A = this chain, B = another copy of it.
Amino acid sequence: MRIYRSPHNPLIQTKDIVPSRGDFEVIGVFNAGVTRLGDEVIMLLRVAERPINSNAQKLLTAVYDFVSDEFAIKEFSLDNQDNDYTDPRLIITPRQTYLTSISHLRLARSKDGIYFDIEDKPSILPANKYETFGLEDPRITLIDDTFYISYVGVCPFGITTCLISTQDFTSFHHHGVIFCPDNKDVVLFPEKIEGKYYALHRPASTLFQKQHIWIAESADLYCWGNHRNLMAPRGGYWDENKIGAGAVPLKIEQGWLEIYHGVDKNNIYSLGAVLLDNTEPWKIIARSEQPILQPETDYERLGFFGNVVFSCGLILEDDKLGIYYGAADTSICYAELSLDQIMQNLKPIV
């Protein structure tokens, strides 16, 4: 598929971000929630940091201590044979798995959707025991006049999805954990459908080692039930290993359009689309057989975790879909394609 990538890519890089502390360095800015506020495009960036480290034999990471409300520096010896450092995102010790970075959310604003003013300080930092390993991958859903931010909270006992609401991106309201461990890639539909709110979510089955997309319903956005299995990875496809919802579902004439990510057997993260029924969103009408965006450029193939394109937000303008996406867990990029292109890419599910 011919997809337009902005010549300004990456739009936002680590060098553009002021670290939250003098002794931290920013190792990634990616997976941003996106919305409009007034005449601006607003992004909530995921900013991943780690302590500055001059010792090549050590690995340092930071953990938020909710009791003292401070960050503690954790030190790991790279010589320690008991620890597994294979995945650049993880430190797996016999007693506990840690993350190699800790993320917070940072506000950025733009008039043209390309050049962003990025705040110097974090907007939302870890604040409780569910966020001691950080906040990740926000999605922003505007419902009436309130923005609902569903984001991943990581802590030693699980990966949860939490909810924050705001009307101005200045004061934020915390609503606690809305999906219990392990659950991520939660997107809230932007309006009630036949009287109920819906969310896509991605729980994990420990026993069966499955990571499918499910759909849940709610009366109030805080409590969720009637969980239904919506879609599974597909053997032999670009999304055969893992899938998860991406941007907030988009209401179009033909139904609800969801841009989701799929991971193939080589651990390559691509984006595709699925079309859900207008009034019964637990029914799939069509799904991409080929990805709409896959890692091709250097900035998508090389980075902290290479071969990743991952979207948490997009902007629709007339027939044009502007996709903001994290590239290689390192930077934020932008691509455009038309709704027509996506619809042609979809294969009806019979």
Using CB atoms and an 8 Å cutoff, list the residues of chain A in contact with chain B: 96-97, 129-130, 156-160, 175-183, 201, 203-210, 212, 214, 216-220, 222-229, 232
Residues of B within 8 A of A225 (CB): 175-178, 218, 222-224
Report the separation of the CA atoms of residues A217 and B175 in the bound assembly, to the nearest whole angstrom. 12
Report the separation of the CA atoms of residues A224 and B226 in the bound assembly, to the nearest whole angstrom. 10
Residues of B within 8 A of A216 (CB): 180
Report the separation of the CA atoms of residues A179 and B227 in the bound assembly, to the nearest whole angstrom. 7
26 sampled A-B residue pairs with Cβ under 8 A: A96-B208, A97-B207, A156-B210, A157-B210, A159-B207, A159-B208, A160-B227, A175-B226, A176-B227, A176-B228, A177-B228, A178-B225, A178-B227, A180-B201, A180-B203, A180-B227, A181-B204, A181-B208, A182-B203, A182-B205, A182-B208, A218-B223, A218-B225, A219-B220, A224-B224, A224-B225
A-side interface mostly: strand
Report the separation of the CA atoms of residues A178 and B203 in the bound assembly, to the nearest whole angstrom. 13
Specify which of A176, A201, A204, A232 lies most central, judged by the most chain B CB atoms within 10 Å of its CB.
Answer: A204
B217 touches A223 (CB 8 A): yes
Contact of A181 among B97, B176, B205 (CB under 8 A): B205
